[in-house]
Structure 1
Amino acid sequence: MNLKTKLIGGVIAVAAMIFLFGSVFIVREGEYKVVLKFGEAVRIQDTPGMSFKIPFVESVTSLPKYQMIYDSNPTPILTKDKKPIQVDNYAVWKITDPESFLRTAQTVKSGEERIDAAVYNTVRRKLSEIEYGDIISENPKRGNLNEQITEEVAGLLMRDNYGIEIVDVRIKRTDLPDSNKQSVFKRMISDRQAIAARYLSEGDEESKKVRAKADRSAKELMAEAESKAKMIVAEGEREAARIYNESYGKDPEFYELYRTLESYKTTLHGEPVIMFPIDSPYTSILLGE
């Protein structure tokens, strides 16, 4: 074999190797390999492993298959009650149709710009319909903002056929500009103090009602008890009178003596000086006659 033959063989071998290496590409886990022919996508490879293309005619570009997070910069938005707030949010997204994505957005950066615009417009419109107090208080009447925004942004990108799926959009933080914070905080404190004063007033009024009801019940119980006590005393006096009458009827002389002795106890209480006629029956009994 002469030198010329060897040279031709070497060139052929090198060309074969170039052709071989130029026709092979590797698909890795978590990525799409898009085969382009003259700049147009002709097929998508998403199964990990080795694949082939036509060298010098077809080229390959990679796109991520996994979920990505786009963290937007804080943006100023005006609420329904004209409060300027800074909104910070993020979006979870992924490419589901590489061919449509390459035809519209083309690059990941461009896709994130489309997402940013859709999220900003949706968040601005949604928050402009809600007052600031309802935003920070998580008022259940307005529903779940994150779910509503996610649904609308996903619909916008699907409508324009970007080949993008929006998995989730979340508002991380809604904050007031520094120039507005103090005035809003003071107003919030004043509102809370007014609410506290109203609660205290209502509590005081309720306390007075409870006390008045208790006093009225106590007076009614005392009146009822006094009435029952008078009835009992009257009944006792009647019973005593009956017993006295029965005793007097059985032995009038003894009863008269008993009444006289009782009168002595009253008359002689405190050892007073009393003058009685000597022939008085009252004196006779005192003298033991």
Structure 2
Amino acid sequence: MKRKNWLITVGIALLFVLGAGSMFIVKEGEYKIVLRFGEAIRTVEEPGLNFKLPFVENTTTLPKYQMTFESNPGQILTKDKKPILVDNYTIWRISNAEKFIRTVNSVSGGAQRIDEAVYNSVRRKLSEVEYDVIISENTVRGNINDEITQDVALALKRDDYGVEIIDVRIKRTDLPESNKQSVYNRMISDRQSIAARYLSEGDEESRKITSKADRTATELLAQAEADAKKIVAEGEQQAAIIYNTAYGKDPAFYNLYRTLESYTVTLQNDPVIMIPIESEYAKILLGK
């Protein structure tokens, strides 16, 4: 009886082990690759419970979602032979899990292949563009990113690694530390030369404007003085005509009027005047 119970227990345990070894669960966002003696024979993508041969088959897991790989900064020569450090990232996913397992075996192995393809493409593309264009033109940078993405995607598709390249982007382009100071000094010198040229052009334009203004002012003053002299001459001429006309109508009254005007000027501020009593001037003052 005891032996029978023992056999039943062993049988149940064996069935449990066999059942557990034959089942596997696929989660959302992952591939399950079934391997038979290390060789990939099928891929399960849909989430849920699945079965395999116990002891003969085993499974490995790969991500189904998009991944981001950031490359280490690499030094590249531009078209004008300037060394720059390029830092970029790649968005990718596994498109064929069985091919991926057979060729690169792991995510780290796939990232290594991507890193090599991206570096080669970035080096080739940036060697066709000058440094100033790379750092100053966003449109050109965008075009380069698109070209690199297509180039890397074609290269990995040709090698049939079972991966899909979604996007490759250059994050940063910088100068190596050993070159920064000399480039900065040259940039400062260039900016100082430009500033000096602008100042020189400004001074020259200022002199032109000042000279033109002075010439215009001189011409205006000369014209104003000429007009003033003409107006004064015309006024004096008109006054002479008026005086002559008035004098001709009544010379005696005109003499009296002029004499009275002279009294108004002479007797201002109570002056002391000494004149001969017999003079006409004194007679008029005395009412004689």
Residue 70 in 1 paired to residue 65 in 2?
no
Q: Which runs of 5+ in 1 are unaligned?
A: 272-277
Structure 1 residues 200 and 34: CA distance shift in structure 2, 3 A:
same
Deviation at 1:284, TM superposition (A): 5.1
Contact 2:74 2:85 in 1 (8 A): yes
Match in the other structure for 1:52? 51
Residue 89 in 1 paired to residue 55 in 2?
no
Match in the other structure for 1:176? 175
Match in the other structure for 1:275? none
Deviation at 1:262, TM superposition (A): 8.1
Give the Cα separation in 1 of the matches to 2:214 and 2:2.
Answer: 130
Structure 1 residues 2 and 265: CA distance shift in structure 2, 3 A:
closer
Give the Cα separation in 2 of the matches to 1:13 and 1:251.
Answer: 161
Structure 1 residues 99 and 227: CA distance shift in structure 2, 3 A:
farther
Structure 2 residue identity aligned to 1:153: V
Give the Cα separation in 2 of the matches to 1:142 and 1:123.
Answer: 14
What TM-score, normalized to structure 1?
A: 0.79
Structure 1 residue identity aligned to 2:68: I
Structure 1 residues 100 and 220: CA distance shift in structure 2, 3 A:
farther
Structure 1 residues 129 and 12: CA distance shift in structure 2, 3 A:
same
Deviation at 1:121, TM superposition (A): 0.7
Q: CA RMSD in A?
A: 3.5
Structure 1 residues 96 and 218: CA distance shift in structure 2, 3 A:
farther
Secondary structure in structure 1 of the residue aligned to 2:79: coil
Match in the other structure for 2:17? 18
Show the 5 A alignment for 1:1-289: 3=3, 5-136=4-135, 138-140=136-138, 142-144=140-142, 145-256=144-255
Secondary structure in structure 2 of the residue aligned to 1:56: coil
What TM-score, normalized to structure 2?
A: 0.79
Give the Cα separation in 1 of the matches to 2:77 and 2:141.
Answer: 19
Structure 1 residues 6 and 133: CA distance shift in structure 2, 3 A:
same
Structure 1 residues 147 and 216: CA distance shift in structure 2, 3 A:
farther
Match in the other structure for 1:274? none
Deviation at 1:159, TM superposition (A): 3.7
Contact 2:134 2:141 in 1 (8 A): no
Deviation at 1:8, TM superposition (A): 4.5
Give the Cα separation in 2 of the matches to 1:230 and 1:2.
Answer: 148
Structure 1 residues 154 and 218: CA distance shift in structure 2, 3 A:
farther
Structure 1 residue identity aligned to 2:224: A
Deviation at 1:115, TM superposition (A): 0.6
Contact 2:69 2:89 in 1 (8 A): yes
Structure 1 residues 200 and 7: CA distance shift in structure 2, 3 A:
same
Deviation at 1:261, TM superposition (A): 8.0
Give the Cα separation in 2 of the matches to 1:253 and 1:168.
Answer: 116
Contact 2:93 2:166 in 1 (8 A): yes
Structure 2 residue identity aligned to 1:213: K
Structure 1 residue identity aligned to 2:85: Q
More divergent stretch after superposition (32-41 vs 70-79):
32-41
Secondary structure in structure 2 of the residue aligned to 1:69: strand
Structure 2 residue identity aligned to 1:135: I
Secondary structure in structure 1 of the residue aligned to 2:235: helix
Deviation at 1:11, TM superposition (A): 4.1
Give the Cα separation in 2 of the matches to 1:166 and 1:51.
Answer: 30
Structure 1 residue identity aligned to 2:21: G
